[in-house]
Amino acid sequence: MKKFIKIVTTLMIILGLTISVVSAASVEEKRQSIRNSANETLNKLYAIHPSARQSVDNAAGYAVFSITDVKIVFLGGGGGKGVAVNNSTKEETFMRTGDVQVGFGLGIKKFDVVLGFQTQEAFMDFINDRWVVGGQATVAATDSVNGGSLEGAVSAGKDTWMYQLTDKGLEASLTIRGIRYFRDKDLN
């Protein structure tokens, strides 16, 4: 058990160091990096699922996140960054996400999430520190050479839908996951 805790601790330290190296950029450079990542994700989604463009355009707002998860046997976690956009005002809210997982699995997975909000109320609830807890069953093994996988749009809550895209990663898991989306106080 001590060896397992050391491995998890080491992986979390590596994730933290990676984040701190990236944080050397200016606030505007960080914002632009997130915008660029979000645009790449949306373009990837539209190429795979063209009707998603209309869903995003017609939504009250949308959010795009890039997330990395690490899962080792019974514990896992991860985090990422993204931006939420109010389609009426075009106002951007830069956000972060963190998650904790309990369940059986092994792997590291990078994935992108596009959330759409059908109502202004759902969008505002989301950008004001919404907490989402749910179950997840995943079997995904993909690489960037052979193309990504798209798990179809699913309901992610009241008046909210989600697309999840993976293009690099290997994961086989059955988990209960708690995900928190929150404002990035350094970028807003």
Q: Each residue of 84-129: pLDDT tens digit?
A: 999 999 999 999 998 877 777 778 888 888 999 999 999 999 998 7
User: Is it the case that residue 26 has pLDDT exceeding 80?
Assistant: yes
pTM of the model: 0.72
Q: Residue 75: which domain range? A: 2-183
188 in a domain, yes or no? no
Q: Which two tokens stand for residue 100?
A: 């904790």
- Give residue 48's pLDDT band: very low, low, confident or very high (50, 70, 90): confident
Q: How many domains does the chain have?
A: 1
User: Is it the case that residue 30 has pLDDT exceeding 60?
Assistant: yes
135 in a domain, yes or no? yes
55 in a domain, yes or no? yes
129 in a domain, yes or no? yes
99 in a domain, yes or no? yes
The mean pLDDT value of the chain amounts to 77
Report the pLDDT value the prediction gives residue 37, as an integer from 0 to 100: 96
85 in a domain, yes or no? yes
The Cα 144–Cα 164 span in angstroms is 15
160 in a domain, yes or no? yes
Interval 55-80 mean pLDDT:
89
Q: Each residue of 123-171: pLDDT tens digit?
A: 999 998 765 544 444 443 333 434 444 345 666 777 888 888 876 544 4
152 in a domain, yes or no? yes
Q: Each residue of 169-186: pLDDT tens digit?
A: 444 444 455 778 899 999
Report the pLDDT value the prediction gives residue 185, as an integer from 0 to 100: 93
Q: Is residue 113 within 8 Å of 67, Cβ to Cβ?
A: yes
Report the pLDDT value the prediction gives residue 172, as an integer from 0 to 100: 45
Residue type, 120: Q
